[in-house]
């Protein structure tokens, strides 16, 4: 079954490449010239949250870092390297930290048992958030809703870490880099702005448009929204 899935993926890739060439003969040639993404997306490795697909954008539009439970830690050299490259070299205009519903990491952090291996250590930020907000979380009786709330708290705390990073703080002051904290609802396919981010000063009045083939992701004071134009 796994082999069949892999071969299907290869076949699907060939069909997609052929379609893109037919749709725009210069598409891949332009891709080889370099990348100029406007967005750095930091999200979860969950297979149900493919950033470019759910944003309606194209290859080259989004620079990406994904890990288990979209954790942003100042001691994680991997995420720090991605952020530094995106902010300093690519000069992205937006950093989007995205959590999601049905998050296995949030559910695991809410349990009292051990997962085993490195995952127990990796989920420490979520477990810390759980302890810091124990009363609020215990007041939520529905297990799914409680996990969603922890996922939100994880994003909020991750945004605070992002804003405290020197390269991000400097870019916010000098050229108006924006930081957004959002949550993707797997059940409906929509992104919700948590209001945890901050505007660095650019694009606040008119909004900035990031163009995709089938739509546009519009960033403004009210958050991000898709528009067909």
d(CA 148, CA 126): 12
Contact 71, 121 (CB under 8 A): no
Report residue 113's pLDDT band, with 50, 70 and 90 as the boundaries.
confident
* Whole-number pLDDT of residue 109: 97
CB-side neighbour CA atoms (13 Å) of 46: 21
Given the residues 21, 48, 175, 185, the one annotated as active site: 48
- Residue 100 annotated as part of some ligand binding site: yes
Given the residues 65, 94, 98, 103, the one annotated as active site: 103
- Residue 102 annotated as part of some ligand binding site: no
d(CA 201, CA 14): 42
Q: Which residues contact 170 (CB under 8 A, 6 or more apart)?
A: none
* Whole-number pLDDT of residue 112: 87
Contact 119, 108 (CB under 8 A): yes
Is 46 catalytic? The answer is: yes
Strands 223-227 and 216-220: antiparallel
* Whole-number pLDDT of residue 38: 97
Q: What is the pLDDT of residues 40-88, one digit of tens each?
A: 999 999 999 999 999 999 999 999 999 999 999 999 999 999 999 999 9
DSSP letters spanning 73-121:
-TT-HHHHHHHHIIIIIS--SEEEEEEESS-HHHHHHHSSS---TTHHH
Is 98 catalytic? The answer is: no
d(CA 56, CA 224): 13
Q: What is the pLDDT of residues 27-53, one digit of tens each?
A: 999 999 999 999 999 999 999 999 999
Judged against a pLDDT cut of 70, whether residue 185 lies above it is answered with yes
Q: In sequence order, what are the beta bridge partners of 183?
A: 99, 192
**Domains located in the chain, CATH noted:** 36-204 (3.40.1050.10)
Write out the H or E segment, with its range, that includes residue 146.
helix 143-164
Give mean pLDDT, residues 138-163.
Answer: 98
Q: What is the pLDDT of residues 215-227, one digit of tens each?
A: 445 555 555 555 5
Is 100 catalytic? The answer is: yes
CA nearest to 167, candidates 114, 109, 95: 95
* Whole-number pLDDT of residue 228: 43
């Amino acid at each position: 079954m796994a082999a069949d899935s892999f071969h299907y993926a290869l076949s699907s890739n060939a069909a997609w490449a052929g379609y893109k060439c037919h749709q725009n003969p210069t598409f891949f040639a332009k891709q080889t010239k370099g990348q100029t993404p406007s967005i750095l997306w930091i999200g979860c490795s969950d297979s149900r949250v493919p950033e470019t697909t759910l944003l309606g954008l194209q290859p080259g539009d989004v620079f990406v870092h994904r890990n288990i439970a979209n954790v942003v830690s100042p001691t994680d050299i991997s995420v720090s390297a991605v952020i530094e490259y995106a902010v300093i070299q690519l000069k992205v205009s937006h950093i989007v930290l995205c959590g999601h519903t049905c998050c296995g990491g949030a559910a695991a952090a809410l349990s009292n048992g051990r997962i085993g291996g490195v995952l127990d250590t990796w989920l420490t930020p979520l477990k810390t958030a759980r302890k810091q907000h124990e009363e609020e979380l215990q007041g939520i009786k529905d297990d799914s809703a409680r996990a969603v709330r922890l996922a939100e708290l994880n994003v909020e705390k991750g945004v605070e870490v992002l804003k405290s990073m020197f390269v991000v703080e400097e870019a916010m002051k000098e050229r108006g880099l924006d930081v957004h904290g959002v949550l993707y609802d797997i059940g409906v396919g929509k992104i919700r702005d948590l209001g945890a981010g901050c505007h660095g000063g650019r694009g606040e009045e008119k909004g900035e448009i990031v163009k995709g083939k089938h739509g546009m992701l519009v960033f403004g004071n009210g958050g991000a929204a898709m528009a067909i134009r």
